[in-house]
Amino acid sequence: MIIIIDEASAKLASFYYHGEIFKPQWKRAADMSSAPADCIWIVSNRQQKQIADSLGIASVGEPQCGTRYAVESLAELDIEYLERVRRRYNHIPWDIGETDRCLIRELTLSDLPALYELYDKPGMTDFVEPLYDYETELEYQKAYIENMYGFYEYGMWLVFSRETGKLIGRAGLEHDEMGYMIAPELWNQGYATEVCRFIIDYARENTDFEELYCRIDEKNTASVRLAKKLGFTKSGHMDEDINASIYRKNIKNNEKH
């Protein structure tokens, strides 16, 4: 990532001068030799923002600059935030995090073929809705990426094996509801537990939710066992489906499971 900054912004972004780790990653606006998608521009006025837009470069600035991504003070910026803004602007999925065996990241449209392969495996749609036909699913995911990831910064993510790089599951948050599914060849090996623990910790640290809940069909005994193992307790049934129970967990008590 190349970070473009001028003298005015550099004076406000105090870590530019004091954090040695950042210095090699910064360039002046006049020193642009990289592809626009590799850059982010910290702007200090609306004119710079308009130039960034015309060049196809992501920009961030204080509210008066009119950028889509704004901060109250440039001194609040850090590398992780800038990288996420650059990725969002260029439709590059965010890496959400890692567990011992898994990489969790946002879905991108190029993942759809692998997602269909996952859903086609035996048992995968026994207790979850299947995907739509391809064209409908494509439009649905376009809107989901823009509105769910783009606005809330969470959603249903994809789970990849760190060893093989293959898609092995899907898990995440639909607001305060946690969902998860793992490829059948990896059932009973602790993958769902590993991923769900990560999601609970993520929700605790990055959202305002006091609790999470799961909707679980009582015939899905493995999922019921997992929810209980993670500290969820049964609180009732879904009104529209007597077979689907609600399991809830308070996540703000700072306990980890």
pLDDT at 20: 34
The model's pTM = 0.83
Q: How many CB atoms lie within 10 A of CB 92?
A: 14
pLDDT at 132: 98
Regions of the chain where pLDDT drops below 50: 15-26, 29-30
**Do residues 201 and 194 lie in contact, with contact meaning Cβ atoms separated by under 8 Å?**
no
Q: Look at residue 98 and give its three-state secondary structure.
A: strand
The pair of structure tokens assigned to 245 is: 């129970």
Query: Among positive and negative, which fits the CA dihedral 201, 203, 206, 211?
Result: negative
Alpha-carbon distances of 214 from 186, 188, 204, rounded to whole Å: 21, 19, 16
pLDDT at 18: 37
The whole-angstrom separation of Cα 1 and Cα 243 is: 50
User: Which residue type occupies 116?
Assistant: Y
Q: Look at residue 48 and give its three-state secondary structure.
A: helix
Q: Number of C-alpha atoms within 13 angstroms, CB side, residue 197?
A: 16
- In the chain, the domains with their CATH numbers are 2-89 (3.40.50.1000), 95-250 (3.40.630.30)
- What confidence tens digit (pLDDT) does each residue in 71-105 have? 888 777 888 888 999 999 999 999 999 999 999 99
Nearest-5° angle of CA 65, CA 69, CA 104?
165
pLDDT at 11: 60
